[in-house]
Every structure is written in C-alpha cells, then in structure tokens.
Structure 1
Amino acid sequence: MAKLDLGELGRVGVTLDVRADGGHLDDAALLEKLGYSTIWIAGGQLATLDPLRDVVRATDAIPVGSAIIPVQRYAAQDVIAFRRDLEVTAPGRLITGLGGAHGARPLRTMNAYLDSLDSFDAADPPVPAGARMLSALGPRMLELSRDRAAGAVPLLVTPEYTAQARETLGEQPTLAVMEYVVLERDPRLARDTVREPIRFLTRVGGYAQNLRRMGFTDEDIAVTSDRLLDGLVAWGDIDAVAARVRRHLDAGADQVVLVVQPTDPDAVLHGEWRALAEALLA
C-alpha cells in the first residue's frame, strides 16, 4: 500500500480538454489561478503524452494527472522515459494515472504492466507506486489500486459506489472520483448534453459491468436512460452540483474531479469554471 507522493490532493480537481489551437495552455493557467487542486487530462486525448508535459510547463505548481494513460497503447518504457524527463524540470508535478486494460483479462494485463514499471529499476523505480493511480472500477481492480498504486480514479460512479470503494481501499489510499457536471436547470437539455459521451463510455471496457453492480439495469445501459444519467451526473444549478460533490466527499472521496460539459459544444468553459470555483473552493 502506497501513499500518494504529492500528499493530499485537495478536494476539487478539474479536467481539461486539449485544444488544437493550444488554447488549453492558457486554460490550464486560469484553472490554477482559480484555485483548483489538480488538472487532469483525459486519456482519449493523449495521441501522445506531450499534452501532459505542456500543461505542466504552462502552470507553476498545480499537479497534473493523466486520466488515464491507456496501458495497451503506451509501453511501460515510454511512460518511464516520459516521467523521468519531466522529473528533471518539474519534479513531483505528474500524477501517472493508468488504465485502459481492456480485453479478457484486464487484471492480469494491469498487473503485468505494473510489473514492467517496477522491474525496470527496483532500487529507484522511475514510476513508483506513490506516483501512480489506477482507473479502477471493480473490486479486484480497486484492491490492485490499494496494493500496487497510490489509489484509484474511477469514472461514472455514484456516491454509493464511492462509499464502497473507500471501504475496499481503506483509509490511506487516495480516491479521486471523476464526476460529470452540467450547469443547466432544464432536465432535458442537461441530460442530452451528456447522453452521447456517457453512451460511448458504457460500451468501453468494464463500465457496463460496473453500472450493473451499482444497480442499473441492462435497459438503463442500452438506452442511456434518464435514470442512469441522473445517477451518474451532477446537473442543475450551482447548489445542486455542490450538493453532489459533498455527497462524494462525505462518502469517502479525497477529491472530486469535475468533468464539466457545456450545453453548447462550441462554448468555452471559463464561466462555468469560475462559478464552480467560487462555490466549491471558498
């Protein structure tokens, strides 16, 4: 069992979308100025690992996490080399979030990957357990997060799941829960904003299986039902989102990572980020 090398993450982090025009680097500086505790970059955007380095360089001190580096896309040696280079210029800034171990035996795949990281230099591991977290969902992957990493970064989960994950992890490991957020009071518009991205995720890896563990039906998952969206997404006004964040924290999350979705796909999120910071970071 390892403790996160960075210590306590802080209670509220946020995800950042990589923009082709490089505007996400200015966004990263803004998020740090607003007081968010961490910035996380989604793995689907990591055609290379360079955006992680670029965001670290665009900010002063905020930790930057990968959520996640897909282990079936990047060899362990690539992750080792990347983190070693970054540690030279920005030591202690990167949280190496790992996941994407899909297929018939995801636990075996992840264990083998961690073996590769640990065996590269046993005396001075370049990606030590305290610097990495896993995108765990099921109980066995949570146990692996507890035993061979600093904790877990689950997505598409309920506060009830958070309580169960904390029980599995124990007190010491870090639990950073990723939470979709839509600042919109209209139920139809709020749900339609996140229906497609969540529908896509339910067809990837172990998400559907974990949704069933949380009590959602096959029908909920097949049609991405309103019940499913209401169980997984913080939508409504600021007070409703803040209440949802508190539920995760009260259930045992160390940090809630806001995955903010605009109702207008072409809009920038500066207004939402500012409003949420004022409500949640005071």
Structure 2
Amino acid sequence: MSTSTVTDLGPLGVWSYQLDVLPMAQSRDVAAELDDLGFGALWVPEAFAREPFASAALLLEATRSMTVATGIASLHARTAMTMNAGWRTLTEAFGERFLLGIGVSHQPLVEGTHRSPYSAKPYSGMVEYLDQMDASVFAGAQPTVAPRRLLAALGPRMLGLAARRASGAHTYFVPVEHTAAARDCIGADAFLAPAQTVLFETDSTRARAVARGFMARYLALPNYTNNLRRLGYTDDDLAHGGSDRLVDAIVAHGDVADIATRVQQHLDAGADHVAVQVLCEDAPGLPLAQWRDLATITDSLTPRSIRHLTKVTS
C-alpha cells in the first residue's frame, strides 16, 4: 500500500439528481454555472438514470475547477475490474477532479433492477470487492495522481472500512448527530462528506409535506431505517412518512440563513464537506435560483480545520 495527499473539496458542494433528467447539453451548461458559482464538488447519483462514469466524464469536460463525484456508483452494476478501469481512466484524464464513491446499494434496487442477488453480508461483500479492485489489471495509461475513492457508509463497520480502505466516507439520508458519530468511527484524518437535503420553504407545514414525499422511498429501505434506529429514532418516528422531529432532522427547510446553519452544524460535527441536495416542490424541477442563493453562503461557513485528504491505494 502507498499513500498520497490531495486537496480537499471545500466545505460546500451540490448533490443533484436533476441533471440526470435534462438533456446532457443543458446539464453541462448548468454544471459550468455551478463551477463558476464556486461549489467545490458536484455529486451525481446512480439509480435509474444516467450511467455515472459517462455522466461524470461529460460534466468534467464542461467544467474547469470543481470535482465531480459519484454518490454513489453501485458495486452491483459493474465488476470490480470494470469499476477500477473507469476510476483510473477518469483520474488519468481529469486528475484529482474525479472522486469515486462506491456503495453496496439496497436490496430492492439490486434484486429488482439489476437482477442480482444482494449479499446478506454487505460489509464482507465490500471487502471482497475492494480486494478485487486493488488486484485488478489495468493496462491503460496510468493516472499521474493517486485515484481517490470514498465508500458509502452508515454503520460503524462500514465507516471503519472507509477509513482503512478509502479516503473516507460519503453518507446520505443522515441527521447531524450521525455526522458526529461517523467522525468518531473514522478518526480525525479520514474525509467525511455527508449529503444534506434542503428545501427553500419557510412555511414549516408545507415544507414537511414536501419533505415527507421525498423521504417515503428512503424510509422503505432497511439500510436507512436501521441507521436511524441506531441513532435513537423510534418506530413512531419512522411511521407515516416520518415524525416532525425526524423530518426536520433529515430535510433542512427555511430561508438561506437556515440552510447555512444546518450546513455549519455538519461541519461543526466533523464533516469536511457537505453535499447539499436541493428539493423542488414540483419534482424534478431545476433549482437554479436556490443553487445561486446557496453559493452565497460559502464565505460564511467555517470549515473543519484545513488538512490534506489521504488516499490509500494499492
């Protein structure tokens, strides 16, 4: 094993599914504007829309400075050798501007969409997959910087693995208290990038109604509900779209100052970077105005102490 250091992503990024449903030419134009607005990273998903390596390549070509990260690429969607090849190909082309996030995904998605068996032991499956990645042959032009990867992680074992076998962790559908617990699990030096869903809506009743519509699909996934139970949320919190307490913890709502407060809470709890997912009341929508407002908070944020991100590679 060898280590190398790379620069961090800054405190604020954009996590967006909306770009997946636009024509790619328009998505590239929007990504270029997000880059000009100063966001440190653009996070792209993998589910039912674009293939994330192809999407990342096109978005990286359209931008100059910000990182494009997969949040996340599913290990069930490609072999370890293919994942490794894509990772190294984009790093060779774009250097530290590409960041690979890998995850085990969720049983309904894996079995229902990929038609693949979901491991009863996701942790062991991830260990085996990383071993295969690191042992893979890649005969293409090699990157001049060490490729970076994060693991999608929620529980203590996967978080620990993210610290040992990757640059750190990307967490999703988590409240601030999970960020504090995750930092304790991964230690001081690993990178931690939680996603925070937000809604620019000052009417709490209306905001919670929209948030519950968003949360419904995630509250049907055991990986997320088990994680929330570890944090002390009860069956009553998880029922009927989520209690007010849970909804407010998962989806920050209010004006731009309220959103800034939530982002800062994650940073204070131990996050290095917060990937903000903006909900639109009329999904999927394109929250350009909200992204522009969000960009104005960057200078007001106090980042976690500046340090380098360490990547372990084979």
Question: Could you state the TM-score of these two structures normalised by the residue count of structure 1?
Answer: 0.91
Write the mapping of 1:111-122 to structure 2, written as runs, cut at 5 A. 111-121=127-137
Question: CA contact under 8 A between 1:14 and 1:39: conserved in structure 2?
Answer: yes
Q: CA deviation at 1:265?
A: 2.2
The aligned counterpart of 1:37 is 40
- Does residue 153 (structure 1) correspond to residue 170 (structure 2)? The answer is yes
- Does residue 199 (structure 1) correspond to residue 255 (structure 2)? The answer is no
- From 289, 297, 313, the counterpart of 1:271: 289
The aligned counterpart of 1:211 is 228
Alignment deviations for residues 120-147 of structure 1 (CA, whole Å, 9 cap, x no partner): 159x998x98610011000000000011
The aligned counterpart of 1:131 is 148
The aligned counterpart of 2:30 is 27
The aligned counterpart of 2:160 is 143
- Does residue 56 (structure 1) correspond to residue 74 (structure 2)? The answer is no
Relative to structure 1, the CA distance from residue 4 to residue 71 in structure 2 (aligned partners, 3 Å threshold; closer, same or farther) is farther
Tell me the matched-pair count: 280
Relative to structure 1, the CA distance from residue 266 to residue 95 in structure 2 (aligned partners, 3 Å threshold; closer, same or farther) is closer
**Separation in 1, partners of 2:32, 2:299:** 17
Question: CA contact under 8 A between 2:21 and 2:49: conserved in structure 1?
Answer: no
Q: CA deviation at 1:194?
A: 2.4
Give the RMSD, CA atoms, in angstroms.
2.3
Q: CA deviation at 1:270?
A: 1.0
Q: CA deviation at 1:237?
A: 1.0
- Does residue 247 (structure 1) correspond to residue 270 (structure 2)? The answer is no
Question: CA contact under 8 A between 1:69 and 1:99: conserved in structure 2?
Answer: yes
The aligned counterpart of 1:73 is 77
**Separation in 2, partners of 1:15, 1:223:** 26
Q: CA deviation at 1:46?
A: 5.2
Residue type at the aligned position of 1:83: W
Relative to structure 1, the CA distance from residue 8 to residue 88 in structure 2 (aligned partners, 3 Å threshold; closer, same or farther) is closer
Alignment deviations for residues 100-133 of structure 1 (CA, whole Å, 9 cap, x no partner): 25441110111111011111159x998x986100
The aligned counterpart of 1:11 is 11
**Separation in 2, partners of 1:65, 1:107:** 22
Question: CA contact under 8 A between 2:80 and 2:136: conserved in structure 1?
Answer: no
The aligned counterpart of 1:233 is 251
Question: CA contact under 8 A between 1:32 and 1:59: conserved in structure 2?
Answer: yes
List runs of 5+ in structure 2 lacking aligned partners. Answer: 107-118, 301-314
Aligned-pair identity in percent equals 35
- Does residue 107 (structure 1) correspond to residue 104 (structure 2)? The answer is no
Relative to structure 1, the CA distance from residue 169 to residue 130 in structure 2 (aligned partners, 3 Å threshold; closer, same or farther) is farther
Question: CA contact under 8 A between 2:91 and 2:147: conserved in structure 1?
Answer: no
